[in-house]
Amino acid sequence: MRNSQLATNYRPEIDGLRAVAVLSVIVFHLYPSLFPGGFVGVDVFFVISGYLVTRNILTSLESSRFTFSDFYARRIQRLYPTYLTVMIFSSVMVYCVFPPSDTVGFAQSLISSLVYFSNVYFAATAGYFDSASHVKPLLHTWSLSIEEQFYLLIPLILLIGFRTRFNSLWMMAAIVIVSFLLNLLTIYASPTQTFYFIYTRAWELGIGSLLAYGCFPRVKSELAQLAVFLLGVLLIITGFIIIDETTRFPGYAALIPVMGTYFVIGSSTNLRDHPILRIFSNRLMVKVGLLSYALYLWHWVLIVFYKKYFGLVSISIVDAAVLLSATFLLSVLSTNYIEPIFRKRRFGFGSTMMISGGLSACLAAFSIMLIQTQGGLFRWPSERSIYADTLEHKEKTFYQECGSIVDPEIEKYCRRYGSENTNAEIVVWGDSHAVEFTRALASLTNASVISFSTPGCPPINGVQRSDNLGTAIDCNRKLNDRIFQFLMEYQPKKVVLVARWSLYHLGWYKNGTLQIDTHYLCIDDCEYGTTPEESLEAFDAGLKTTVKSLDTVSQVYLVKAAPELPVRGDYLLFDNPTFSGQRLDAHERMNYGVNAVIDSLQDRDLAVVVDPTSSLCDQTKCLFRSDDLLFYLDDNHLTDNGWMQAKTVFSTLLTTDSANNM
């Protein structure tokens, strides 16, 4: 098959389009509020990459020059010099400035990035927009992993199609259709996996591949081609503006930048001499486009380390100027001096694999060392024992599965401590904060204890949590109804409700900034979220109804939320040893609304309220550590030791009616 789309002559407008894509991503990472959809520049890259690689393979096949070894050697020669340079730079910086927990995460991501599997790793550990993204220097390599996984498949498809009678175009079209449908089918149930996985992203690169096959409407009218080109530009710009981190993406929304890129590349083939192409083909845009790969690799690692080193939450104009200058400088050096080492010397496949494999092996060995040493904990000899104890606290008290005593639909959220042969005297119901709380409680009593812990879900019957970020999968009325029904039927002596209560009313902290649009509650439909005031009303009504009902069968205890830290406890331990503790007044302001509701239930003799701040805080400050113990797993979850420090909580709970022994 041969047509104008397979022509191998240079197309400067595509390099200009690369410039637009990479600059949008950089601006988004510097100022997300200015360019809320800038991250879709990656989708523009996907289409461009699919087009160029497929075009080159088809051209090589037609001239009988294609071999797998040559294809992959060229990929490595093109990608690995700058890629490995960024990896080495990141490794050195992480070793110098990162605390152990983030160092371990980096080491794991480094190994996955070296084998172009980082998209799977980041999907398994968190999301692209989560609060921990600012300590993941290699987060942006997920898109490169997607591309390389696609390139493992596409040469085989094209070769089979070229050497047999089977039309590879139809195979590519089938991949595009199936991948797009999978993207639509999984975007609600598994939003993070849909964002990161190849099977829900392949259609974007496949659209570019279809362009290389010549799958673009043949329109003779230059005016019509011009209209299509401008429509493509408009779609790309629209994607940058209207898509943001709350959009279910990719989903249908990804069609905006993908089809925009498809229209621009497809129509520009027939507009080669038209002045409109100067939008992308002018000299400045082309130069930036030629640097786009290096710019993409360097910009994010520099942002992460710059913010980490200077303790920044946001980027100022001066910071942005410094970061942009450094990004362009390193990109020029990488593109003009490092990449040619491989490309101009024309190493063969064997030499290329030996050199790149040797460097990768060294980085992998470095990563394994960091993992084995708990993130290079030997760098902090005085804090080593404190942090090591935090890492080892998790399974100090063993639990059993709840088995047949609970409904199968809630069994995975249930743990049982103590004797299996007696009815549980205490049932703890809460969000993720209930895990460590219950372990500490179980270590202090001989009573049988059952725990229900549903992450991100308050222990309140009859309310629904909004799902603006796609993280409320484990929080729905059906689940809470089942747990509530179990408590009413099981009738334990004591029911303890534990949660990060203000999270569902005000939000949470992300990179030091309070978020106010992520975890709201409502009584009815929560699809579009609610206001903080409406959420507090739902919290008030739901908690009062829940406690009133439980009070008829059990003694109810409400545990107020523990103080939250401005950043993770281990960051304070290693980076800010002079930090004396969170201000008590800040904690009280954060929890004022929910605590008023909780206190009203005690005033009406419906529940016993216990407050960990009475043990963790003095008149002004709340502790986050002692001389030899760290009290926090992150910025809000107390460790077992942290809960043990809050001894008044357990003394109240375990001495009431003398049901248990300490």
Return the top range by mean pLDDT from 122-136, 263-277, 587-601. Answer: 587-601
Q: How far apart are CA 592 and CA 510, in angstroms?
A: 20
Of the candidate ranges 145-154, 183-192, 248-257, 386-395, the one whose mean pLDDT is the lowest? 386-395
The reply to whether 315 and 416 lie within a common domain is no
Q: How confident is the model at residue 77 (pLDDT cuts 50, 70, 90)?
A: confident
386 occurs within a structural domain: no
Q: With the CA atoms of 616, 622, 625 and 631 taken in that order, what torsion angle do they form, in degrees rounded to the nearest 10?
A: 60
The reply to whether 269 and 345 lie within a common domain is yes
The reply to whether 362 and 447 lie within a common domain is no
**427: three-class secondary structure by DSSP:** strand
Q: Is the pLDDT of residue 236 over 80?
A: yes
**Residue 334 DSSP class:** I
Q: How confident is the model at residue 517 (pLDDT cuts 50, 70, 90)?
A: low
Is the torsion defined by CA of 232, 234, 237, 243 positive or negative? Answer: negative
Q: Is the pLDDT of residue 430 over 70?
A: yes
Containing 38, the helix (H) or strand (E) segment is none
The pLDDT value recorded for residue 5 is 41
Asked which of 344, 379, 414 is the last residue of a domain, the reply is 379
Q: Is the pLDDT of residue 535 over 60?
A: yes
Closest of 574, 557, 558, 559 to residue 624, by C-alpha: 574
- Domain, as residue range, for 564: 397-658
Containing 274, the helix (H) or strand (E) segment is none
The reply to whether 312 and 415 lie within a common domain is no
Can you give the CATH number for the domain in which 459 is found? 3.40.50.1110
**431: three-class secondary structure by DSSP:** coil
User: Residue 555 CA to chain centroid, in angstroms?
Assistant: 40
218 occurs within a structural domain: yes
Q: How confident is the model at residue 158 (pLDDT cuts 50, 70, 90)?
A: confident
Mean pLDDT, to the nearest integer, of 191-204?
Answer: 95
> Cβ(479)–Cβ(409) under 8 Å?
yes
Asked which of 319, 351, 379 is the last residue of a domain, the reply is 379
Q: Tell me the helices (H) and strands (E) count for the chain, helix number first.
A: 27, 13
> Cβ(327)–Cβ(335) under 8 Å?
no
Mean pLDDT, to the nearest integer, of 636-658?
Answer: 82
Q: How confident is the model at residue 341 (pLDDT cuts 50, 70, 90)?
A: confident
Q: How confident is the model at residue 2 (pLDDT cuts 50, 70, 90)?
A: very low
The reply to whether 406 and 372 lie within a common domain is no
The reply to whether 528 and 644 lie within a common domain is yes
392 occurs within a structural domain: no
Asked which of 319, 347, 379 is the last residue of a domain, the reply is 379
Q: Is the pLDDT of residue 8 over 50?
A: no
Mean pLDDT, to the nearest integer, of 407-424?
Answer: 81
Is the torsion defined by CA of 309, 310, 314, 317 positive or negative? Answer: negative
The reply to whether 503 and 599 lie within a common domain is yes
Mean pLDDT of the chain: 87
Closest of 439, 449, 444 to residue 494, by C-alpha: 449
> Cβ(276)–Cβ(229) under 8 Å?
yes
* 369-388 confidence digits (pLDDT tens): 999 998 998 988 877 777 77
Q: Is the pLDDT of residue 118 over 80?
A: yes
The reply to whether 404 and 370 lie within a common domain is no
Q: How confident is the model at residue 128 (pLDDT cuts 50, 70, 90)?
A: low
443 occurs within a structural domain: yes
The pLDDT value recorded for residue 64 is 82
In this prediction the pTM is 0.82
Q: How many domains does the chain have?
A: 2
**429: three-class secondary structure by DSSP:** strand
- Alpha carbon distance, N-terminus to C-terminus of the chain: 81
Q: How confident is the model at residue 108 (pLDDT cuts 50, 70, 90)?
A: very high
**Residue 336 DSSP class:** I
Residue written as token pair 């082309």: 286
The reply to whether 363 and 473 lie within a common domain is no
